[in-house]
C-alpha cells in the first residue's frame, strides 16, 4: 500500500515540476522545480504519515524529501537516524528543513547539537551552529557565550559559506538577545566585515551582524515604548 502511495505522490510531484522554477532553485543548490506552496498543500492533505515519509526520503528526490519532512513524526526518529539523514541531505533546502522542522522537535536535539557543532565537515557543523543559535535565543543557560564569541572571532572570516552563515547568525543572535555581550558582538562583526556588502532588498534587514543587531534592538525598543505609552494612557 505504501509503495503504491509513493508512486502516486511521486507522480503528483512530477506533474508540478516547473523548469523555470528549477532553474532559479539550482542557482541556490536546490535541484527541484516544485512550488513550495503547492508542496505544502500536498502535505496538508496527506497529514502525518511516518511510514510514507520514510519511503519518500529513501527516493533521494529533493522534492520528495521536502514533503517527507512535512509529513513525518519528528519524535519517531532515533538519534543515529537523524544523524544519517543530515549527512544524506544533499541540498540546502532539505538540510534547513530537516534541522528546523524535525531535529529541533526531537528529544535528541541537544545530543545532536553538540556532536554536529564539533564535526569536521563544515556543512554538518553548520547544523550544530544553527541549533546553538536556537539555544542562544531560547535556552541560553549552560551555554558559554564568551566562548562562542571567541570561536566566531577566530574562525568565521575564513569559514566555508554555509558554516559562515550559521556562525554569523549566532553572532547576531548573541548581540540581539544578550545586552551584556552586545558591544563585543558588534565589534566582532565590524572588524570581520562578513556579509557587509551583501545585497539586501529594500525593507529587508541586512545579514551584516552589526546592522542586524542594531535593527532588531531598535524594533524591540520601539515596541516596548509603544506598550509603555499605551499603559500610561490607561
Q: What does the pLDDT look like over 40-93, one tens digit per residue?
A: 999 999 999 999 999 999 999 999 999 999 999 999 999 999 999 999 998 999
**Cβ atoms of 124 and 116 closer than 8 Å:** yes
Four-point Cα dihedral 127, 199, 155, 96, nearest 10: 0
**Cβ atoms of 167 and 176 closer than 8 Å:** no
Is the entire prediction scored with pTM above 0.85?
Answer: yes
118, three cell numbers: 564539533
pLDDT grade, residue 225 (50/70/90)? confident
The 8-class DSSP code of residue 196 comes to T
Residues 6+ apart with CB under 8 A from 192: 153, 156, 157
Res 113 pLDDT > 90: yes
The pLDDT tens digits of the residues spanning 26-35 come to: 988 899 999 9
Res 119 pLDDT > 80: yes
Q: What is the overall mean pLDDT for the chain?
A: 95
Reported as half-sphere exposure (CB side, CA atoms, 13 A), residue 67 has a value of 33
pLDDT grade, residue 199 (50/70/90)? very high
H-type helices in 98-208, by residue range? 109-117, 122-138, 145-155, 161-177, 182-192
The pLDDT score that the predictor gives to residue 226 is 84
pLDDT grade, residue 2 (50/70/90)? low
Amino acid at each position: 500500500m505504501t509503495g503504491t502511495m509513493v508512486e502516486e505522490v511521486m507522480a503528483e510531484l512530477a506533474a508540478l515540476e516547473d523548469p523555470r522554477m528549477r532553474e532559479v532553485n539550482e542557482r541556490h543548490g536546490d535541484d527541484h522545480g516544485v512550488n513550495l506552496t503547492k508542496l505544502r498543500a500536498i502535505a496538508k492533505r496527506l497529514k502525518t504519515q511516518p511510514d510514507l515519509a520514510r519511503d519518500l526520503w529513501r527516493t533521494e528526490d529533493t522534492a520528495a524529501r521536502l514533503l517527507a519532512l512535512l509529513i513525518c513524526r519528528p519524535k519517531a526518529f532515533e538519534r543515529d537516524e537523524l544523524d544519517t539523514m543530515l549527512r544524506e541531505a544533499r541540498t540546502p533546502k532539505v538540510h534547513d528543513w530537516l534541522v528546523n522542522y524535525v531535529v529541533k522537535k526531537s528529544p535528541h536535539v541537544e545530543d545532536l547539537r553538540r556532536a554536529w557543532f564539533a564535526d569536521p565537515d563544515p556543512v554538518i557543523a553548520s547544523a550544530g551552529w544553527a541549533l546553538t543559535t536556537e539555544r542562544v535565543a531560547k535556552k541560553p543557560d549552560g551555554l558559554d557565550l564568551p566562548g562562542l564569541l571567541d570561536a566566531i572571532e577566530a574562525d568565521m572570516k575564513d569559514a566555508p559559506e554555509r558554516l559562515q552563515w550559521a556562525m554569523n547568525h549566532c553572532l547576531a543572535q548573541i548581540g540581539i538577545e544578550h545586552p551584556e555581550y552586545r558591544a563585543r558582538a558588534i565589534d566582532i562583526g565590524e572588524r570581520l566585515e562578513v556579509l557587509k556588502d551583501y545585497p539586501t532588498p529594500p525593507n529587508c534587514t541586512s545579514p551584516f551582524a552589526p546592522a542586524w543587531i542594531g535593527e532588531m534592538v531598535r524594533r524591540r525598543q520601539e515596541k516596548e515604548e509603544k506598550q509603555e505609552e499605551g499603559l500610561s494612557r490607561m
